[in-house]
């Protein structure tokens, strides 16, 4: 099954499984290709130079906020409290789940509706609430499909991209009794109807936060479907969960991010809806919830502040652009990463949040081509981060890496002496004759055989540059 949780330790294995799934790969190609194309068109329309300036401004605003994160979070908390919001803090996932479950219990809530939020997926909040006896329903169409099927999202913007419309029609037929041959429009209408009932019956709404404004104590949520508006308006209690890195200084900074995020994510000028919420709206006869709670979560983020290279990952605004351009992600999809944060940014965030022990394989799930850095709307240097994490992984003593270490030690010994180098390449030129098929080395003994299983190796040239030089190249090439 392509849609279930995979252990992140086994990225290699998961990737192979995903590569064998032809339907998944073509769905991924279509999605990543389409989003990439839309992003390019949106930026061209905006103006390449203007876009560059906007990225730099967005990044500078994030850097400023991260450098004063303690001050801004305290300011946010005090302004939010003054507006009637209840602010909670959580050191880790377990504590955050406890806080949310506590709020739900105190409110006497039974039915919970959720708007799409990666942070709550990081917490596995759904599982926790279900275990505690709450009935929690995802309301974003893609997330709901994935939840009905008992799966996990495969793409951060299109969570059910791994499923065909036929398989979704079947799923809806089973759960809602709709026509098994229903088309996309009919399926969407059925979802609206089924979920509208849930919205009207819910006592508690849970959402994430895209930006938190310190100046006003407000939270901002972006979306297209309207489910986040319903989640934050209809139930009498609303809980929003945010990572510490979501805070920005001023309300006037928002337009910068409102121009960056939709263009980078879906190629839209603006998503259909933004909700800027400052305190509960339902007091004194107004519309909206009677209680608004904001949970501020650390869960491994604060330690990323200590070094410039890791700190920049906290500037991420979760647009998904780096996933769509990544040649690895385009082929293996989100499930192989075994984390709610897949793709290039996931490969740098996951090991830092989950610890290098569990996420150690992920920094290697990249070709270092740099496409992610080029498209990032806040100019995060993801390849530099990947290299930094690789160095950290390699520095850990691990028996599995002994052969690799030995090979690199030998390599470094050989290339540091001219004689040794010449002897080694002469030997390799001799030995490779037995391995070349066509113009490539396609198989070999031992470690070379493992390496060539998935790749072809270009053989060494017949003569070295030095040999060509000695044989007359130096006379030809020198200008007089």
Partner 1 sequence: MSDAARRTVLGAIRHHLREARSAGDELPAVREAGRGPPPRIGEREDLVREFATRLGAVGGVAWRVAGIDGAADCVASIAAELGATRIALSDAPLVRALRGRLPASATLVEVADRDAIASCELGITSAQAAIAETGTLVLDAGMERHRLASLLPRVHVALVPVELLVADLDAAFAAYATREVPAAITLVTGPSRTADIELTLVVGVHGPQALHVVLIDGA
What is the footprint of partner 1 within residues 237-296 (CB under 8 A)? 244, 249, 251-252, 254-256, 258-259, 268-281, 285-288, 296
Contact segment (CB under 8 A) with partner 1 among 55-63, 340-348, 361-369, 446-454 equals 55-63
Does residue 200 bind partner 1 (CB under 8 A)? yes
Residues 354 and 361 sit within 8 Å (Cβ to Cβ):
no
- From 83, 194, 356, 460, residue interacting with partner 1 (rule: CB under 8 A): 83
Contact segment (CB under 8 A) with partner 1 among 86-94, 360-368, 408-416, 432-440 equals 86-94
Total interface residues for partner 1 by CB under 8 A: 96
What are the two backbone dihedrals, phi and then psi, of residue 441, each rounded to the nearest 5 degrees?
-95, 115
Residues 273 and 229 sit within 8 Å (Cβ to Cβ):
yes
Does residue 191 bind partner 1 (CB under 8 A)? yes
- From 49, 150, 185, 455, residue interacting with partner 1 (rule: CB under 8 A): 185
State the pairing for strand pair 218-223/135-138. Answer: unpaired
Q: Cβ neighbours of residue 91 under 8 Å, at least 6 residues apart?
A: 298, 299
CA distance 45 to 27: 27
Residues 429-448 binding partner 1 (CB under 8 A) are none
Half-sphere exposure of 379 (CA within 13 A, CB side): 13
Minimum distance from residue 14 beta carbon to partner 1 (Å) = 24
Minimum distance from residue 395 beta carbon to partner 1 (Å) = 18
Choose among 363, 356, 317, 441: nearest CA to 61: 317
Does residue 81 bind partner 1 (CB under 8 A)? no
- From 307, 398, 405, 474, residue interacting with partner 1 (rule: CB under 8 A): 307
Residues 108-167 binding partner 1 (CB under 8 A) are 139-142, 145, 158-161, 164-165
- From 298, 388, 392, 422, residue interacting with partner 1 (rule: CB under 8 A): 298
Minimum distance from residue 273 beta carbon to partner 1 (Å) = 6
Does residue 71 bind partner 1 (CB under 8 A)? yes
- From 95, 170, 388, 422, residue interacting with partner 1 (rule: CB under 8 A): 95
CA distance 311 to 125: 26
Helices (H), 149-226: 165-176, 184-201
CA distance 212 to 320: 20
Does residue 226 bind partner 1 (CB under 8 A)? yes
Residues 254 and 246 sit within 8 Å (Cβ to Cβ):
no
Q: Which is nearer to partner 1, 184 or 403 (CB)?
A: 184
Residues 296 and 77 sit within 8 Å (Cβ to Cβ):
yes
Q: Cβ neighbours of residue 217 under 8 Å, at least 6 residues apart?
A: 76, 77, 78, 79, 80, 81, 82, 83, 85, 278, 279
- From 306, 412, 437, 478, residue interacting with partner 1 (rule: CB under 8 A): 306
């Amino acid at each position: 099954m392509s849609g279930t949780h995979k252990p992140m330790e086994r990225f290699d294995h998961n990737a192979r499984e995903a590569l064998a799934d032809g339907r998944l790969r073509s769905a991924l190609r279509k999605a990543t290709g389409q989003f990439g194309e839309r992003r390019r068109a949106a930026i061209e329309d905006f103006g390449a130079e203007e876009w560059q300036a906007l990225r730099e401004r967005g990044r500078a605003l994030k850097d400023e906020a991260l450098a004063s994160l303690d001050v801004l979070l305290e300011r946010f908390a005090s302004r939010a409290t003054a507006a009637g919001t209840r602010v909670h803090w959580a050191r880790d996932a377990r504590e955050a789940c406890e806080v949310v479950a506590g709020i739900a219990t105190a409110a006497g809530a039974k039915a919970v509706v959720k708007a799409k939020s990666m942070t709550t997926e990081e917490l596995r909040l759904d599982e926790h609430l279900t275990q505690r006896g709450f009935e929690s329903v995802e309301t974003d169409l893609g997330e709901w499909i994935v939840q009905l099927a008992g799966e996990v999202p495969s793409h951060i913007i299109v969570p059910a991209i791994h499923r065909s419309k036929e398989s979704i029609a079947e799923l809806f037929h089973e759960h809602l009794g709709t026509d098994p041959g229903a088309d996309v429009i009919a399926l969407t209408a059925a979802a609206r109807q089924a979920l509208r009932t849930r919205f009207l019956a819910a006592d508690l709404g849970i959402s994430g936060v895209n930006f938190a404004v310190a100046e006003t104590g407000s939270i901002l949520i972006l979306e297209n479907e309207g489910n986040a508006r319903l989640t934050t308006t209809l139930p009498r209690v609303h809980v929003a969960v945010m990572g510490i890195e979501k805070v920005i200084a001023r309300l006037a900074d928002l337009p910068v991010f409102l121009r960056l995020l939709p263009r980078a994510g879906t190629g839209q000028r603006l998503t259909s809806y933004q909700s800027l919420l400052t305190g509960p709206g339902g007091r004194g006869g107004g519309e909206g919830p009677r209680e608004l709670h904001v949970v501020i979560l650390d869960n491994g983020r604060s330690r990323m502040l200590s070094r410039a290279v890791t700190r920049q990952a906290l500037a991420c605004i979760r647009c998904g652009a780096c996933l769509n351009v990544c040649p690895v992600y385009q082929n293996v999809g989100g499930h192989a990463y075994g984390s709610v944060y897949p793709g290039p940014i996931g490969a740098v965030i996951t090991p830092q949040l989950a610890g290098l022990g569990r996420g150690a394989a992920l920094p290697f799930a990249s070709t270092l081509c740099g496409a992610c850095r080029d498209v990032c709307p806040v100019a995060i240097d993801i390849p530099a981060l990947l290299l930094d994490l690789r160095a950290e992984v390699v520095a850990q003593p691990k028996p599995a890496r002994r052969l690799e270490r030995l090979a690199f030690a030998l390599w470094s010994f050989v290339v540091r002496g001219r004689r040794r180098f010449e002897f080694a390449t002469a030997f390799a030129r001799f030995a490779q004759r037995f391995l070349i098929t066509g113009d490539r080395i396609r198989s070999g003994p031992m470690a070379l055989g493992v390496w060539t299983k998935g790749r072809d190796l270009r053989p060494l040239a017949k003569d070295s540059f030095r040999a060509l030089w000695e044989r007359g190249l130096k006379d030809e090439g020198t200008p007089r």
